[in-house]
Amino acid sequence: MNLLIFEDEPLAQERIQAIVKDQLPDWKVAGSAQSLEEAKDLLNSSLEYDLLLCDIHLADGLCFELFKQGDFKKPIIFITAYDEYALESFEHNCIDYILKPIKEERLLKAFKKHESLIGSQQSISKDLVNTLISHYQKRNFKRRFLAKVGSKMIFIPVEDVACFFCEDKIVYMKEIGSSKKYVINHSLDELENQLLNPDKFYRINRSIIINLESVIEIKTYHNGRLKLELNAPENLEMVVARERVTEFKNWINQ
């Protein structure tokens, strides 16, 4: 199986290639590109490939520009940092799409789906591409949170939040440089999947989401885990779950 990778983030591209090498030794990465210009050169070359793994946002624009001319016959797995509401219109017209940060299990599942579809007709029509371009837009992440302080309500900018955590089924947020905590009316799942920018916030375990900008120290911890120190006094142990350590390192090194 020959694979093309269009991905403008070097770390993400390296991670994909490492997963392919480790888990799919019979597969070959035939070529890669970080920009539309590089991608066009590859698509117009005589390079042979079976599957395209394509980030929606490349270095110089949306990848949909590559598929404007006629029908594109090769199967595509899209990669994106944005959730499914913007992608519903082509959920059934491509092989699959993967949300960032890329998880190995999810990527392998998409590859397996492709293998199961080999032999079927796969194409992306010009009309579909035009629809995608007109409707696709960057997700509007939460910019501020409303918190109650006594009888008053205050707004806290998202960049000032050190972390969110769940305690006794109640979700709190803490400001950077402060020991205060505020109750908010959002679940951690909602925060992680809908409201927070995944480039800035990461869920280190089932109970805690941290802000990258609040991390001041990372230490090795028991059983292969990591312990974090945030710029916010707290009684919580900021420990990265063992199964998330590799992904966390890739995320924080972006």
Cα 177 to Cα 174: distance, rounded to the nearest angstrom: 9
pLDDT on residue 138: 54
Per residue in 70-128, pLDDT tens? 566 788 888 877 655 445 435 434 777 788 778 888 999 989 888 887 765 555 555 65
* 3-state SS class at 179: coil
First to last CA, the chain: 29
- Cis ω on the peptide bond leading into residue 101 (within 30° of 0)? yes
pLDDT on residue 89: 38
Q: DSSP code of 172?
A: E
Written as one letter, the residue type at 96 is D
Question: By C-alpha distance, which of 62, 42, 60 is closest to 52?
Answer: 42
- Model confidence band, residue 174 (pLDDT cutoffs 50, 70, 90): very high
177: left (phi over 0), alpha (psi -120 to 50) or beta: left
pLDDT on residue 188: 93
**Would you say 90 and 236 are in contact if contact means Cβ atoms under 8 Å apart?**
no
- Strands, E assignment, the chain: 2-6, 28-33, 51-55, 57-58, 61-62, 76-80, 96-99, 144-149, 152-157, 161-167, 170-175, 181-183, 201-203, 208-211, 215-220, 226-230, 239-240
Q: DSSP code of 192?
A: I
The residues, ordered by sequence, that sit 6+ positions from 46 with a Cβ below 8 Å of its Cβ are none
pLDDT on residue 240: 93
* 3-state SS class at 191: helix
Per residue in 120-152, pLDDT tens? 555 555 565 666 655 555 567 889 998 878 788
Domains observed in the chain:
2-135 (3.40.50.2300), 144-252 (2.40.50.1020)
**Would you say 211 and 203 are in contact if contact means Cβ atoms under 8 Å apart?**
no
Per residue in 181-228, pLDDT tens? 899 989 999 998 888 988 889 999 999 999 999 999 999 988 889 999
pLDDT on residue 166: 94
pTM, two decimals, is 0.53
